[in-house]
Amino acid sequence: MSDEDRIEDVPVVPARRSFFERVSVVWLIPILALVVALGIAWQTWAERGPTIDIHFRNAAGITQGETQLRYRDVVVGTVEEVDFANGLDEVLVTVRVTQTVAPYIDEEASFWVVRPEVTTQGVTGLETVLSGVYIAGQWDNEPGSEVRDFTGLAHPPLNEGVQPGLSFYLRTSGTSLTGNTPLLYKGVEVGRVGPARVSEDGVTVEAEAFIEAPYDNLITESTRFWDSSGFSFTLGSAGAALNFDSIASLIAGGVSFDTFVAGGTIAEPGDVFEVYPERGLARASVFNRRDGVELTLSAIFDEDVTGLAAGAPVELEGLRIGEVTGLNGIADAGSPGDSAVRLQVVFAIQPARLGFDGEGSETEALEFFAQQAALGLRARLATANLLTGGLKVELVRPDDLAAGALIEPPGEYPILPTAPSDLIDVGATAEGTLARIDALPIEELLQSVIVFLDEAGSLVGSDEVQQVPGELAGLLGNLRGVTGASEVQALPAQIGAVMTDLERSLDQISTLVAELDEAQAAERVLAAIDSVSAAAAGVETSAEGLPELVAEITALAEEARGLGLPALGQRAEAVLASAQTLVGGEAAQALPAQVGAALAEVTSAADAVDELIGTLNEAQTAERIAAAADAAAAALQAARPGLEGVPRLVDELTAVAQEARAMGLPALGQRAGELVASAQALVGGEAAQALPAQVNAALAEVTDAAGSVEELIGTLNDAQTAERLAAAADAAAAALEAARPGLEGVPALVDELTAVAQEARGLGLPALGQQASALVASAQNLLGSEATQALPAEIDAALGDVSAVATELQAFVAGVNEGGTAERLAAAADAAAGALEAARPGLEGVPALVDELTLLAGEARSMGLPALGQEASQLVANAQALIGGEAAQGLPAQASAALAELTAATTSANRIIAELSDAEVATQLTAAIENAAAALDSVETSAAGLPELVDEARALVARANSLPLETFGAEAERFAASAADLVASADAQALPGQLNGALAELSSALADLREGGAIANTNATLDSARAAADAIAAASADLPALVARADQLAATASSVLTGFDTEAPALREARSALREITRAAQAVSELARAIERQPNSLILGR
């Protein structure tokens, strides 16, 4: 047991691991792959379709394994094998088809190879160029019996794609059938014609045709086909005709068809149709078959029927209804009186074309024609073709009818009546034309033409004509350049502007010329300028004589020192005393105040005038004021010679003084001392002291006024016052002419006085002193007379009157201003102007008076000086008395007042002028100033003539000097005695009284003026102020020289006076007086310098 229990050492065999333990899961993968592969292989095998064999003539392009079989362009198989059939006759292509289509491939299936094909109809199978050919299959959609062997078609079938349609055959016996062409209907391709082939019998050409479904209804039994390829050209009686269907068919060819007659049964497949060469024939064939009945008529023409042939159309109203079928000549025996052979035209008419259809149409047509013939239907010949001369038969209704009817002779054709033909014989016409051309004188014409051409050639060939084109071109170029220039383009506008300006300028010029014609301004201005020139020359000459005179006086003074001074001094003292009393008088003292009052009045008057002038401006009375200014200018011009005589008078007084110097100086010195004292008192008075200031103020005012005046002048120019200025210039000219004699006399007077002085020096001085004493005594007497003494009072009164006048004037002007009576004032101004014009002759007498005085002085010179001295002494005495008068004493005060008034007046004038400036009259004044400048130029030239005059005067005096002096002196003595007598005479003594009377009268005159001529006076005042300013300007030029001479005179006087006792009161007074004078002279000098520095200040007011 134990042995048995012993476990044998059993070889332990490890348990075999299970299959799944040993085999990896990975084994699934190869198994899966295997399954997949097997599955694919089985599926491929199962889906393989059957193979079919197709026999082809060749296998061009068929590749084994690649070439496809397509049905409706869907791949349904692939060529598996390409091999030869038995005997190498054909190519056997084995195609494996898909199972889907395999049942349908039955015995009706057809196969062909699709290759690229280029025909006239286009390119087909283009895709096969790249992809290679393929085999197209076609079969119906019904499964059939299985057939596996086919014969491929050489060409694709016509109904490729198995479209519904109609297949039929076309046939022709001619050559008009072209294969592989489109089938056209009205130019649209509706089908195709297959390749043409000759029929089996070789007689006809046949082609299969296929028309697509919508159009197969168009094909009926009566459808006609014709070849529409190419074109046809026909030249017949209907003219030339070129026919072709379309360009496409012209190139590609084609068969067209049309159904000309409606109706007919639709064609069956397989029907055969004839193809006609052209449409006409095709159409005709329809009728040929249809109108079985024809109506044959005839017509007999008398005319030549050349050109009419069988087949010519017969037209009714242009519609072809038949054709000529025959021409016969007949000899109509039946026609009376006519045996000629006539032409019978037989023509066939198709009633169908007239609408007669069906049975009995022939009879109906015949009836129709009979009816129409009765109504006028006629047959006649007409030209069918102009070129060929072909004729046709027309059935028309001509207007000029002859009776006729359709004749129906038995057994013959019905005869239609005829009408004259409507032939157009082209040949005859052309012949006639040629004949006329032939008759033309062509030879002569050609000759003339040749001659003409020769001449024309020579003309054209000439150089001038050859140059014409070039010149023309250049001319045209220039013209183009000129006209194209922008300046020329702008020319019209500029011309327009210029024309406008010209028009305006011409208007202005005409106006100006008219004014100038009326005024004759130029002549007057020239005359005025001449006068001014002459006057200036005279002044210049006289001025030249002054130094000489001063020298003489100096010499005389030296000699006078040697004289017996005492007696003369006493006399002079008396004179001076009188003068002192005169100057010291209350009236004299009051004179400045009065003058001031008068000036104040004038000022206020000027204010009024200011307003008045504004009113006047408004009243447009400028013309009249201008006229008044004219007159005032004339008056002032007349007055100026008299004023210019004053220097001469001063000269003479100087001479008198010189001679007085020869008198007894002591007495004379005392008198002079007194006189000087009086003068000093006079001068030293407040009014006199205020004079320079007033003068200065007045001058300032005048300056301002001048500035305003300048503007006023411009304004006046604007106011077209040129004429009046011209008139004023005229007046000035006249006045200057009048004054010139006086001016011319001044040099002579000066010369004379100089000569007198010279001669006086040569005389016995003591006697002269005595005579002078006597003269002084006389003068003293004269001056001491009551009338003379009353003269200052009279002047004072006159000035008072002037003041009153001014006051009145002011009131008057105020009234005028208030009353708006500007027009009346203007009229008054006109009147004043007239008055002044009238007064001018009287003023013009003043120069003559001066001349006479000069003559008198000259004669006095020739008198015996001693007696002359006595007389002078007396005269001096009288003068002293006169000067010593209270009235004379009051003169300075009045002058002062007058100056104040003048200042005020100028202020007012200034205002007036400012207003005038506001009135824009400045430009006129400017023009006036220019005229004045021109006038001054003329003055310059005229001044050149003065020296000659002076020379002549000097020569005259020289001759006088050459006379025997003793007799001359005696005569002078005598004359002086006479003069003394004269002076001492009652008449002479009455002179002061007369002067007083004159002054009184002047006062009354002023009083009158204040009532009547206020405006004129105002104007005159303004003009005078202007003239005075001018005169001051002119005098200011001479002022330096004058001052220098005054200095000299003062120096001389100083040296004279040094001889006197310094202690003498008279001398002291005289010295102080001299100092005063010197101071005054210095003031004047300063003024002169100021003016000299700024001459314009006189005008411009600065």
Partner 1 sequence: MSEATPLTAREAGLVGCRRCGRVWPIETEECGRCGAHLQSRDPRSLSRVWAWWAAGLIAYVPANLYPMLVTSTLVEETQATIVGGAVELAQHDALGVAIIVLVASVLIPVGKFMAIAFLALSVHRQADTGAHARHKLYEIVEYIGRWSMIDVFVVAILTALVQLNALASIHPGPAAAAFAASVVFTMLSAQSFDSRMIWDHLGGPRPRPRLEERAT
Which stretches of the chain bind partner 1, using CB under 8 A? 12, 14, 22-24, 26-30, 32-34, 37, 66, 130-132
What is the β-pairing status of strands 181-185 and 188-198?
antiparallel
Q: Which helix (H) or strand (E) holds 267?
A: none
Beta strands in 622-702 (DSSP E): none
Q: Which residues pair with 117 in a beta bridge?
A: 124
Nearer to partner 1, 24 or 962 (CB): 24
720 CB-near residues (< 8 Å, 6+ apart):
515, 924
Dmax over Cα atoms in the chain, in whole Å? Answer: 241
User: What is the per-residue burial (b if ≥16 Cβ within 10 Å, else e) of 820-832?
Assistant: ebbeebbebbbbb
The least distance separating partner 1 from the CB of residue 99, rounded to whole angstroms, comes to: 22
Do 660 and 571 form a contact (C-beta atoms < 8 A)? no
Tokens of 1072: 């102080």
Q: Which amino acid is at 432?
A: G
Nearer to partner 1, 19 or 233 (CB): 19
CA separation for the pair 128, 61 (Å, rounded) = 10
DSSP assignment of 378-395 equals: EEEEEES-TTT--EEEEE
Nearer to partner 1, 44 or 1062 (CB): 44
**Tally of helices (H runs) and strands (E runs) in the chain:** 30, 25
The least distance separating partner 1 from the CB of residue 126, rounded to whole angstroms, comes to: 13
CA separation for the pair 699, 1094 (Å, rounded) = 14
Q: Locate tokens 């004078």: which residue?
A: 1077
CA separation for the pair 342, 1035 (Å, rounded) = 146
Nearer to partner 1, 13 or 203 (CB): 13
Tokens of 403: 């009776």
Q: Locate tokens 């009376």: which residue?
A: 336
Nearer to partner 1, 24 or 486 (CB): 24
Nearer to partner 1, 130 or 493 (CB): 130
The least distance separating partner 1 from the CB of residue 17, rounded to whole angstroms, comes to: 8
Q: Locate tokens 């009346």: which residue?
A: 824
Of 1069, 1054, 580, 626, give the one whose Cα is nearest residue 832: 626
The least distance separating partner 1 from the CB of residue 115, rounded to whole angstroms, comes to: 15
The least distance separating partner 1 from the CB of residue 58, rounded to whole angstroms, comes to: 21
User: What is the per-residue burial (b if ≥16 Cβ within 10 Å, else e) of 684-723?
Assistant: ebebbebbeebbebbbbbbbbbbbbbbbbbbbbbbbebbb
The least distance separating partner 1 from the CB of residue 24, rounded to whole angstroms, comes to: 4
Do 618 and 819 form a contact (C-beta atoms < 8 A)? no
Nearer to partner 1, 11 or 427 (CB): 11
Distances (CA, A) of 1009 to 255, 805, 824, 825, 1014: 140, 8, 16, 13, 6
Nearer to partner 1, 22 or 436 (CB): 22
Nearer to partner 1, 131 or 941 (CB): 131
Do 419 and 398 form a contact (C-beta atoms < 8 A)? yes
The least distance separating partner 1 from the CB of residue 31, rounded to whole angstroms, comes to: 8
Q: What is the DSSP letter of 997?
A: H
Nearer to partner 1, 26 or 439 (CB): 26
Q: What is the DSSP letter of 920?
A: T
Tokens of 192: 């195709």
Do 241 and 234 form a contact (C-beta atoms < 8 A)? yes
The least distance separating partner 1 from the CB of residue 48, rounded to whole angstroms, comes to: 17
The least distance separating partner 1 from the CB of residue 91, rounded to whole angstroms, comes to: 21
Do 723 and 515 form a contact (C-beta atoms < 8 A)? yes
Nearer to partner 1, 34 or 933 (CB): 34
The least distance separating partner 1 from the CB of residue 134, rounded to whole angstroms, comes to: 13
The least distance separating partner 1 from the CB of residue 41, rounded to whole angstroms, comes to: 9
The least distance separating partner 1 from the CB of residue 23, rounded to whole angstroms, comes to: 6
Q: Which amino acid is at 387?
A: L
Do 883 and 578 form a contact (C-beta atoms < 8 A)? yes
The least distance separating partner 1 from the CB of residue 74, rounded to whole angstroms, comes to: 18
Nearer to partner 1, 28 or 646 (CB): 28
The least distance separating partner 1 from the CB of residue 28, rounded to whole angstroms, comes to: 8
Nearer to partner 1, 131 or 306 (CB): 131
CA separation for the pair 324, 296 (Å, rounded) = 9
Q: Which amino acid is at 166?
A: L
The least distance separating partner 1 from the CB of residue 68, rounded to whole angstroms, comes to: 11
The least distance separating partner 1 from the CB of residue 132, rounded to whole angstroms, comes to: 7
Q: Which residues pair with 74 in a beta bridge?
A: 71
Nearer to partner 1, 29 or 241 (CB): 29
Do 274 and 222 form a contact (C-beta atoms < 8 A)? no
In three-state form (DSSP H/G/I as H, E/B as E, the rest C), the secondary structure along 1011-1080 is HHCHHHHHHHHHHHHHHHHHHHHHHHHHHHHHHHHHHHHHHHHHHHHHCCCCCCHHHHHHHHHHHHHHHH
The least distance separating partner 1 from the CB of residue 33, rounded to whole angstroms, comes to: 4
Q: How far is CA 888 from the centre of its chain?
A: 77
Nearer to partner 1, 63 or 478 (CB): 63
Nearer to partner 1, 132 or 993 (CB): 132
CA separation for the pair 362, 349 (Å, rounded) = 9
Q: How far is CA 189 from the centre of its chain?
A: 76
Nearer to partner 1, 44 or 962 (CB): 44
Nearer to partner 1, 77 or 1101 (CB): 77
The least distance separating partner 1 from the CB of residue 16, rounded to whole angstroms, comes to: 12
Of 586, 591, 587, 578, give the one whose Cα is nearest residue 675: 578
Helix locations, 763-821, DSSP H: 765-784, 786-819
